Structure 1
Amino acid sequence: MGLTSVGIGSGLDIGGIVTALVNAESAGKIAKFDVNEGKINAQISGIGSLKSAMSEFNDKLTTLTESATFGSQKVALSSKSYLSASVDATAVTGSYQVKVEQLAQSQKVASAVVADKASTLGEGSLTIAVGGNDSFNIDVVATDTLTEIMNKINSSDDNSDVTATIINGELGPQLVLGSKNTGLDNIISVTATDTDGNTGLVDTFSMTEVTPAKNAIAYIDGVKVVSKKNTIEEAITGVSLTLTAADIDQTTTLTISKDTAKTKTAIEGFVEAYNSVMTTINSLTSYNAETEQAGILQGDALPRSIQSQMRNMLSSQYSTSDGNKMLANLGVTTTREGLLEVDSTKLTEAIAADKGAIAEMFSSEDTGLASKMSSLLDGYVQTGGIMDSRDTTLDEQLSRLTDSREQLNTRMAAFSARLYKQFNAMDLVVSSLNTQASDLQSRLDSLPGVVRNNS
């Protein structure tokens, strides 16, 4: 590159001239690049907003494709003092009177009192069993104390049914064995064997029941129910009871009814998420005549296609065992703006009177509203879907724009170098002419008889 300062020969600001010429040549192209880059980035942002709203809507649809959302039951208790309850979808609507006579409990047996828990008891073995389960053996050596025997019982790999502990009572320490399971089927038996000729183990482990095993006893509508656990799962269809206290004189009313709130919440969430998608599309594709501002994706076929397909699905009828159904039958209608609105009272009444048709309408595989719409949205928002493809296309446009900027910079650098070369060449010529003119003037001034005109 040549001189970049004021021309030596010509006195021109070559640097300023070259910069002005380069800027004049590139300014229009750079402005066009900036405009295009802004549009592409705005489109990327718009596609991202649309994809986010559609993904959130798709999540709401997932709930409406699950059978648990529809026809579920709920349970209420007149008192929580004696039991708790849970229900599944097979529970039958109705009311039941429950009385708890007795809670289930596990048996506990105690050894004879020993003088000192650190004293040895002799050599031999203990065979322990609970109910009909396999027994396990504990080998007792001559140096074992009551504490060590307790530890051997609790740490035995074969022991899954008994817990051993030492209780220091008024008369002295005793080893207490407790069944891990409640009910009359879990009775503990202990057989002691002495092998050292003494009777220390046999005498100590002649067990005495200190807490009896009991089955739970409850009455449901006057029918006696017995369970070895405090959880009763098969007495009432679809209902699980957990007994917590007993008083045969107290009655708890258990009421099972249809859980309309779960279905209603799911449908209202569907409406809200759908409106969010439609609002996003309208915002991205609209034109404001007053401000003369166009949406980021105005004229783009993608959001309009999505909007059209979704609206068609919402206005369609869906086959159920109770005849063809559509959203309007549930109190969900379309406003003039293309959004959905819910008549809360009508929706509640429709769910309360429903016998399975709403579930079919939404969740029937391949034919239900939620199932079909979820499949539609998956094609757009899933990894590798249409939205990702559009993002890839826009990213490629940005990449090409970056390449064009680099090419322009390269051309402008060459153009600048060429201008500097031309202007510097001119400057040298002017400098040479100025030098020759000055030399000629000097020669003329030195000729005899030539009088300089100083005026």
Structure 2
Amino acid sequence: MGLTSVGIGSGLDIGGIVTALVNAESAGKIAKFDVNEGKINAQISGIGSLKSAMSEFKDKLKTLTESATFGSQKVAVSTKDYLSATVDKTAVSGSYQVKVEQLAQSQKVGTAVVADKSSVIGEGSLTIAVGSGDSFNIDVVATDTLTEIMNKINNSDDNSDVTATIINGELGPQLVLGSKKTGEDNTINVIAADTDGNTGLADTFTMTEVTPAKNAIAYIDGVKVVSQENNISEAITGVSLTLTAADINKTTTLTVSKDTTKTKTAIEGFVTAYNSVMTTIKDLTSYNADTEKAGILQGDALPRSIQSQLRNMLSNQFSTADGDKMLANLGVTTTREGLLEVNSTKLTEVIAADKGAIAEMFSTENTGLASKMSALIDGYVKSGGIMESRDSTLDEQLSRITDSREQLNLRMSAFSDRLYKQFNAMDLVVANLNSQSNALQSRLDSLPGVVRKNN
């Protein structure tokens, strides 16, 4: 870079002149870069907005391709005091009268009362089993107390069915074993064997029933149902009951009916997401005559293509076992603006009367509306899809602008250096001329008879 000070010989502001000339040369190009860069960034932002709306739409479509969205059932109970219930899609709509006579209960058995839980019991072994399950063995050494035996039972790796605890009753402490499983088939069996010649262990572990095992007993529409557990899953098709309290004189009405909420919510979500995509496309591609402002993707074929393909799919008929169906059959219609609107009442009625046609219409693989739309959208938004390719193209354009800016900077730097050299050379010539002029004037002034005039 040349000198940037005022010219010594000419007195000109060489730095200012060079800067002005460089700016004049580069300003137009920089302005063009800025405009193009702004347009590209706006397009990237617009593509991102469209991709976001389409991704959300794809999520809503996914729900409509799942069988669980359609044909589901719901259950209600007249009171929650005695039972709760859940259903699956195999449940049959209807009403059931349920009475709970008895809850299932696990058995508890206790040892003989001992004088002190810290006293040793005797040497030997215990074999413990619950119902028809596998038994497990506990080795008792001569120094084991009731507390230590309790811990051995609870900590045994082979024990999955029994809980041992010490209860200090009126007569003294005793070890109580409780079954982890309810029902009469899950009673506890304990066999004690002494190995020290005494009968301390066997006598202590002569078990007495503390709490009897019980089966759950309920009546469903007058039919007696007996279960080992309080969870009854096979009494009513598709219905699982959990009994929580018993009173044979109280009746709980259980009602199974079609659950229209899940299907309706999914369809309404589809409509909302579709409208979001269409509104986004309109905002990106339209022209506002009042503001004289065009959308950032106006004239772009990509959003228009998406819009056209989606609208064409909506106008199709879809084959079902109940005949060909269209969205209008569900109460979903298209407005003048090209958006969807839902007649909520009609949609609820259609879903309630549906026998599988709605699921076929939306979720049939390759031909259902949601399935086809999902495949279309996926081609745009997936990794490596059309929109990612568009983003890559725009990024490359930005990269080229960045390269062009760097090249321009290099050219302007060289241009600036050249100007400085030229102006400095001129300044040197002017300085030399001024020096010669001063010398000549001095000689003239020294000639005899020449008198300098003072201004």
Which range, TM-score by smaller chain?
over 0.9
Instruction: Report the Cα distance in structure 1 between the residues aligned to 2:426 and 2:79, rounded to whole angstroms.
Output: 106
Per the alignment, residue 240 of structure 1 pairs with 240
Instruction: Report the Cα distance in structure 1 between the residues aligned to 2:367 and 2:144, rounded to whole angstroms.
Output: 73
Deviation digits for residues 110-142 of structure 1 (CA, Å, limit 9, x no counterpart) = 111111101111111111111111211111111
Per the alignment, residue 280 of structure 2 pairs with 280
Which ranges in structure 1 are unaligned for 5 or more consecutive residues? none
**Per the alignment, in what secondary structure is the counterpart of residue 75 of structure 2?**
strand
Per the alignment, residue 437 of structure 1 pairs with 437
**Per the alignment, in what secondary structure is the counterpart of residue 362 of structure 1?**
helix
Per the alignment, residue 121 of structure 1 pairs with 121
Per the alignment, residue 421 of structure 2 pairs with 421
Correspondence 1:45-124 to 2 at 5 A: 45-124=45-124
Per the alignment, residue 409 of structure 1 pairs with 409
**Structure 1 residue 453 displacement after superposition:** 3.6
Per the alignment, residue 316 of structure 1 pairs with 316
Instruction: Report the Cα distance in structure 2 between the residues aligned to 1:242 and 1:216, rounded to whole angstroms.
Output: 10
Instruction: Report the Cα distance in structure 2 between the residues aligned to 1:370 and 1:95, rounded to whole angstroms.
Output: 34
Deviation digits for residues 289-333 of structure 1 (CA, Å, limit 9, x no counterpart) = 111101011111111111111111111111111111110000101
Deviation digits for residues 212-264 of structure 1 (CA, Å, limit 9, x no counterpart) = 11111111111111110001101111000001111111111110000011111
Per the alignment, residue 173 of structure 1 pairs with 173
Correspondence 1:18-57 to 2 at 5 A: 18-57=18-57
Correspondence 1:136-215 to 2 at 5 A: 136-215=136-215
**Structure 1 residue 201 displacement after superposition:** 1.0
Which ranges in structure 2 are unaligned for 5 or more consecutive residues? none
Instruction: Report the Cα distance in structure 2 between the residues aligned to 1:92 and 1:319, rounded to whole angstroms.
Output: 26
Instruction: Report the Cα distance in structure 2 between the residues aligned to 1:11 and 1:108, rounded to whole angstroms.
Output: 113
Q: Which amino acid aligns with 1:120?
A: V
Q: Which amino acid aligns with 1:222?
A: G
Deviation digits for residues 340-359 of structure 1 (CA, Å, limit 9, x no counterpart) = 00011111111111100000
**Per the alignment, in what secondary structure is the counterpart of residue 420 of structure 1?**
helix
Q: Which amino acid aligns with 2:316?
A: S
Name which of structure 1's ranges 192-201 and 229-238 shifts more when overlaid on structure 2. Answer: 192-201
**Per the alignment, in what secondary structure is the counterpart of residue 101 of structure 2?**
strand
Instruction: Report the Cα distance in structure 1 between the residues aligned to 2:233 and 2:454, rounded to whole angstroms.
Output: 129
**Structure 1 residue 434 displacement after superposition:** 1.2
Per the alignment, residue 389 of structure 1 pairs with 389
Correspondence 1:326-341 to 2 at 5 A: 326-341=326-341
**Per the alignment, in what secondary structure is the counterpart of residue 441 of structure 1?**
helix
**Per the alignment, in what secondary structure is the counterpart of residue 359 of structure 1?**
helix
Q: Percent identity?
A: 86
Name which of structure 1's ranges 133-142 and 399-408 shifts more when overlaid on structure 2. Answer: 133-142
Give the TM-score taking structure 1 as reference length. 0.99
Instruction: Report the Cα distance in structure 1 between the residues aligned to 2:134 and 2:291, rounded to whole angstroms.
Output: 86
Instruction: Report the Cα distance in structure 2 between the residues aligned to 1:97 and 1:273, rounded to whole angstroms.
Output: 43
Instruction: Report the Cα distance in structure 1 between the residues aligned to 2:202 and 2:438, rounded to whole angstroms.
Output: 139
Deviation digits for residues 148-185 of structure 1 (CA, Å, limit 9, x no counterpart) = 11111111111111111100000000110111100111
**Per the alignment, in what secondary structure is the counterpart of residue 126 of structure 1?**
strand
Per the alignment, residue 265 of structure 2 pairs with 265
Name which of structure 1's ranges 35-44 and 432-441 shifts more when overlaid on structure 2. Answer: 432-441
Instruction: Report the Cα distance in structure 1 between the residues aligned to 2:135 and 2:426, rounded to whole angstroms.
Output: 114
Instruction: Report the Cα distance in structure 1 between the residues aligned to 2:131 and 2:440, rounded to whole angstroms.
Output: 134
Deviation digits for residues 352-391 of structure 1 (CA, Å, limit 9, x no counterpart) = 1110000000111111111111111111111111111111
Name which of structure 1's ranges 146-155 and 441-450 shifts more when overlaid on structure 2. Answer: 441-450
| C-alpha RMSD of the superposition | 0.9
**Per the alignment, in what secondary structure is the counterpart of residue 341 of structure 1?**
strand
**Structure 1 residue 3 displacement after superposition:** 2.4
Instruction: Report the Cα distance in structure 2 between the residues aligned to 1:3 and 1:254, rounded to whole angstroms.
Output: 97
**Structure 1 residue 204 displacement after superposition:** 0.7
**Structure 1 residue 39 displacement after superposition:** 0.5
Per the alignment, residue 351 of structure 2 pairs with 351
